[in-house]
């Protein structure tokens, strides 16, 4: 097939718009949509200091690349935070890949490890309960990222979550009956405590496969190996379900996120308090007496 905008061969058919894209027009469309999202959602203000969470995978590397390009035309500061959870046989390579690409992009970065922060690797934490790997990893990583971003005086923490990630989280929270997590949304952290660095997700309206194509088109080096704990997670099953739905009913993934965004203000009002307290143990913000991170460490 030919590109809908020129006569070159198409590399991608976007089902939701019915458009075919050649490499150049796909790149142009992707960058334009990214810039529009930053501008319309006011994700980054002039002069702000932004921390980018980089894992070494395609999403976070693409985000770092796009923000680096944006910085050339729009004044803000940025640096990257790379978290080493301590997952043997996996993290070493993704870490190497993240450092290599960040150095090529000339982005300053900081590596923060679970071992330095908590005295143990993720492998140690979940030695007897691998099913708990992703929830433990998520709680501890969020803590490390927030703390480091705060130390660096960053006012935004950008993560590479894509549309597929967002939809999976919406369904997973709902299926678990976790009303609080389901009702938080991305602005939760901004409003509830000044100890949380505001999170932004500039890629949340991009399909995972579009990010992959963009990363390949731009010769970004990323690691695509899968974490050994991923097979224990519910996320993979929910992701496969969403893929099947999208295949049968194109735009399902967009509709789910946009529907969720519409009901979010009402969910916030019903289930999220205006402010929260601090953990009795570490004094970080929490809705419970002792925060989840401290509960994990105590265990």
Cβ neighbours of 115 (radius 10 Å): 15
Contact in structure between 97 and 55 (CB atoms under 8 Å): no
Q: Which is nearer to ligand SF4, 68 or 99 (CB)?
A: 99
Q: Is 263 helix (H, G, I), strand (E, B) or coil?
A: helix
Q: Does 131 bind ligand SF4 (CB under 6 A)?
A: no
User: Exposed, middle or buried by CB within 10 Å (0-12, 13-18, 19+), for 160?
Assistant: buried
Q: Which is nearer to ligand SF4, 25 or 142 (CB)?
A: 142
Q: Does 227 bind ligand SF4 (CB under 6 A)?
A: yes
One of 3, 95, 98, 133 touching ligand SF4 (CB under 6 A): 133
| Angle ∠(236,219,78) on CA atoms, nearest 5 | 80
Residue 70 CB, shortest distance to ligand SF4, in Å, is: 27
Residue 140 CB, shortest distance to ligand SF4, in Å, is: 9
Q: Which residue has the tokens 């490890």?
A: 113
> What are φ and ψ of residue 279, in 5° steps?
-65, 135
Q: Which is nearer to ligand SF4, 25 or 141 (CB)?
A: 141
Q: Does 265 bind ligand SF4 (CB under 6 A)?
A: no
One of 28, 47, 89, 138 touching ligand SF4 (CB under 6 A): 138
Q: Does 89 bind ligand SF4 (CB under 6 A)?
A: no
Q: Does 137 bind ligand SF4 (CB under 6 A)?
A: yes
Residues 6+ apart with CB under 8 A from 229: 87, 122, 126, 130, 133, 134, 137
Distance of CA 170 to the CA centre of its chain: 14
Residue 122 CB, shortest distance to ligand SF4, in Å, is: 6
Q: Does 229 bind ligand SF4 (CB under 6 A)?
A: yes
Residue 90 CB, shortest distance to ligand SF4, in Å, is: 7
Q: Which helix (H) or strand (E) holds 266?
A: helix 252-271
One of 1, 230, 266, 287 touching ligand SF4 (CB under 6 A): 230
Q: Does 134 bind ligand SF4 (CB under 6 A)?
A: yes
Residue 131 CB, shortest distance to ligand SF4, in Å, is: 11
Contact in structure between 20 and 12 (CB atoms under 8 Å): yes
Residue 234 CB, shortest distance to ligand SF4, in Å, is: 11
Q: Does 109 bind ligand SF4 (CB under 6 A)?
A: no
Beta strands in 246-296 (DSSP E): 277-278, 285-286
Closest CA to 169 of 232, 231, 235, 227: 235
Name the site residues for ligand SF4 (rule: CB under 6 A). 85, 133-134, 137-138, 227, 229-230, 233
């Amino acid at each position: 097939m030919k590109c809908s905008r020129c006569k070159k061969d198409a590399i991608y058919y976007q089902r939701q718009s019915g458009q075919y894209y050649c490499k150049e027009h796909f790149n142009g469309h992707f960058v334009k949509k990214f810039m529009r999202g930053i501008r319309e959602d006011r994700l980054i203000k002039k002069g702000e200091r932004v921390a980018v969470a980089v894992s070494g995978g395609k999403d976070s590397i693409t985000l770092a690349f796009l923000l680096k390009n944006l910085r050339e035309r729009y004044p803000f500061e940025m640096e990257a935070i790379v978290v080493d959870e301590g997952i043997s046989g996996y993290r070493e390579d993704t870490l190497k890949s993240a450092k290599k690409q960040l150095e090529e992009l000339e982005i300053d970065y900081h590596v923060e490890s679970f071992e330095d922060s908590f005295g143990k690797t993720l492998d140690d934490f979940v030695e007897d309960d691998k099913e708990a790997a992703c929830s433990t990893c998520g709680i501890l990583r969020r803590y490390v990222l927030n703390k480091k971003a705060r130390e660096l005086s960053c006012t935004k923490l950008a993560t590479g979550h894509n549309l597929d990630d967002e939809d999976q989280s919406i369904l997973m929270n709902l299926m678990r009956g976790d009303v609080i997590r389901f009702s938080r949304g991305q602005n939760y952290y901004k409003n509830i405590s000044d100890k949380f660095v505001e999170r932004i997700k500039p890629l949340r309206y991009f399909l995972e496969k579009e990010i992959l194509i963009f990363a390949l088109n731009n010769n970004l080096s990323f690691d695509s190996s899968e974490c050994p704990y991923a097979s224990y997670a519910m996320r993979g099953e929910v992701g496969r379900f969403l893929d099947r739905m999208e295949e049968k009913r194109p735009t399902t993934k967009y509709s789910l996120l946009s529907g969720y965004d519409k009901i979010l203000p009402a969910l916030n009002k019903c289930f999220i308090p205006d402010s929260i307290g601090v953990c009795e143990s570490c004094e970080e913000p929490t809705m419970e007496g002792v925060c989840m991170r401290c509960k994990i460490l105590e265990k």
